[in-house]
Amino acid sequence: MYGETSGMLRDALAELLRQHRIQQRIGGAGLHTVPETTTVDERKAIGEQIARYRYAVLVWCDQAMRAANPRINLEGSTGRTRGPAEELRYRLARTLGGVEVDLPTMDELVTEQPFGLVDTWREAARACVLGEHDFNNGVGYGRLSEAECLTVIKDAADVIRALVGLDRRYANIPGWHLLKEPGRLGRAAETCVTWAGYGEPDYTVDLRGWNPAPTLIEGPRLPGITGVLQAQHNLLIHLGTFPTAQNLRVVLDSQRIVSREAARRLQPIDPALAARWERRGETYGRLVRETRDIGGLIGNGGPAAGQGSVAAARMEKLDRDGLSEAPQVRRFQRISGGIDERVRNVIEHGIAARLYFQRISVPGLNDYNDELVYVARQKFVPITSPVKTELLAIVRSDLRPTPIQRKAPTGAAQSRLDFEAALHHRPPPRGASPDVPSI
């Protein structure tokens, strides 16, 4: 998720921002009580290693800026015609063009470094490499709201400010590669932070990005409601495969039973919630009636139908007080909501792509022993034809998912505040102990 990867990056950079006396942290001279442990050449190699890690962070910033502000061509634009975000992207592109090192290799990303400072840089680079996946999985322009875009831009600009500040601090490392035009880059980043910070930030963006794909819950039957959750979860995953019409009917029937049984068990505990489950059961009942005559051989859905039947059977056998735990009920609702959404998509796609058909009987004539007799012929017509059923209307009106009110994860704002504090952090004056307030 974007929140995890960008949080890891902020944590690593905040730690680096609080570290001063860089030469001594990589084994250089400076303290008469601590001997020098590295040679100039070794420190030069360390500096190059840090520059490679820093390059990965710069690339992440560029990707974040592109994801949140995708103006394609900045060639020919001037400082007057570029907005704050475009200016930062332009400056960042020039900085990246001046980088003379390669990106860190996989070995360098996974091997622990002997010095804590370098290892923190490695953590930052690792977070950036992981974070690349987020931009193709939900953190991209068109999927983000305006406030979310501004939050991503501000995050990237803050990271760039940190890099510019660290660049000055590392200048004494032998052979250190300074950033190209760091002053202009830093100013562009500060302007961008101010501009992006005008509005209210939307930290729900932290919930977007790459997530591991859910997997089946294998193994023996789990006891009680967890067994029902297991079957419903597996059903939801199996519905990823388009089901045939017959298997879809089994799934619909199973959800009707599950909903009715859930409503029965919730009635004494929470009548309002029980009414919602009752309504869901009625909706599925109407869907079962409307799909009695649909046909379609494309797809599979056998495993989904199997899990649906298992869920229905387990729900029927569940104790009367099996739904008394509120967290389990919430999980049950969430999974069932996912099934509703998937069923809706399947039916809509099946109708639109003509994978499901309506079976109708039409009168016909047949030659029987040289005599014409009336017979009933069956014919398959698209569900959107004039002989349409109420199927589509039910799906669109009653299986419409309720809008999800996303809540920003706890700690999203704190992570940014900590990073902001680290950016403005100043070392204590010489001789003063940071832990004791001065008198």
Partner 1 sequence: MLLSHAVTLAEARSYVAALADAALTTDASIEYDRVLLQIDFIHGDYIPGISPVPVTDRDVLFEVAESAIEDLVKHGVDSLTVELVLDMLYAARELDAP
Tokens of 16: 């680096």
Stretch that binds partner 1, among 15-23, 135-143, 188-196, 370-378 (CB under 8 A): 370-378
Decide whether 56 or 245 has the Cβ nearer to partner 1: 245
Tokens of 191: 């302007």
**What is the CA 87 to chain-centroid distance, rounded?**
28
Decide whether 187 or 359 has the Cβ nearer to partner 1: 359
Find residue 360's DSSP bridge partners. Answer: 379
Q: Burial, 370: exposed, middle or buried (Cβ in 10 Å; 0-12, 13-18, 19+)?
A: exposed
Stretch that binds partner 1, among 13-21, 67-75, 109-117, 254-262 (CB under 8 A): 254-262
Q: Distance between CA 9 and CA 105 in Å, rounded?
A: 18
245 binds partner 1 (CB under 8 A): yes
> Within 13 Å and on the Cβ side, how many CA atoms surround 41?
0
Indicate which single residue of 192, 257, 339, 343 sits in contact with partner 1 (rule: CB under 8 A): 257
89 binds partner 1 (CB under 8 A): no
- Whether the Cβ atoms of residue 258 and residue 235 lie closer than 8 Å to each other: no
Q: Which residues between 330 and 359 bind partner 1 (CB under 8 A)? A: 359
Decide whether 161 or 249 has the Cβ nearer to partner 1: 249
211 binds partner 1 (CB under 8 A): no
Residue type, 219: G
280 binds partner 1 (CB under 8 A): no
Identify the three-state secondary structure at position 364: strand
295 binds partner 1 (CB under 8 A): yes
Q: How far is the CB of 219 from partner 1 (least distance, A)?
A: 28
Angle of helix 271-290 versus helix 245-266 axis, rounded to 10:
160
Closest CA to 252 of 352, 343, 358, 388: 343
275 binds partner 1 (CB under 8 A): no
Indicate which single residue of 15, 119, 293, 398 sits in contact with partner 1 (rule: CB under 8 A): 293
Decide whether 15 or 282 has the Cβ nearer to partner 1: 282
Decide whether 161 or 280 has the Cβ nearer to partner 1: 280
299 binds partner 1 (CB under 8 A): no
Tokens of 28: 């250089």
Beginning with the edge strand found earlier in the chain, give each strand of the sheet holding 294-295 in spatial order.
Answer: 294-295, 357-368, 371-382
389 binds partner 1 (CB under 8 A): no
Decide whether 206 or 278 has the Cβ nearer to partner 1: 278
Q: Distance between CA 5 and CA 126 in Å, rounded?
A: 9
- Whether the Cβ atoms of residue 241 and residue 299 lie closer than 8 Å to each other: yes
Size of the site for partner 1 (CB under 8 A): 25
Stretch that binds partner 1, among 43-51, 92-100, 218-226, 255-263 (CB under 8 A): 255-263
297 binds partner 1 (CB under 8 A): yes
**Residue matched to tokens 């009695």:** 292
- Please measure the distance between the N-terminal and C-terminal CA atoms of the chain and give it in whole angstroms: 46
Q: How far is the CB of 348 from partner 1 (least distance, A)?
A: 21
Decide whether 132 or 293 has the Cβ nearer to partner 1: 293
Stretch that binds partner 1, among 135-143, 195-203, 284-292, 332-340 (CB under 8 A): 284-292
Q: Burial, 157: exposed, middle or buried (Cβ in 10 Å; 0-12, 13-18, 19+)?
A: buried
Number of H helices, E strands in the chain: 15, 3
**What is the CA 139 to chain-centroid distance, rounded?**
7
Q: Where are the strands (E) in 346-423, listed by range?
A: 357-368, 371-382
Identify the three-state secondary structure at position 38: coil
Indicate which single residue of 37, 194, 300, 361 sits in contact with partner 1 (rule: CB under 8 A): 361
Q: How far is the CB of 151 from partner 1 (least distance, A)?
A: 49
10 binds partner 1 (CB under 8 A): no
Closest CA to 145 of 104, 191, 203: 203
Stretch that binds partner 1, among 169-177, 225-233, 240-248, 320-328 (CB under 8 A): 240-248
260 binds partner 1 (CB under 8 A): yes
Indicate which single residue of 230, 244, 283, 415 sits in contact with partner 1 (rule: CB under 8 A): 244
Q: Please give the residue ranges that form the binding site for partner 1 (CB under 8 A).
A: 244-246, 249-250, 253, 256-257, 260, 281, 285, 288-289, 292-293, 295-297, 359-361, 366, 375-376, 378
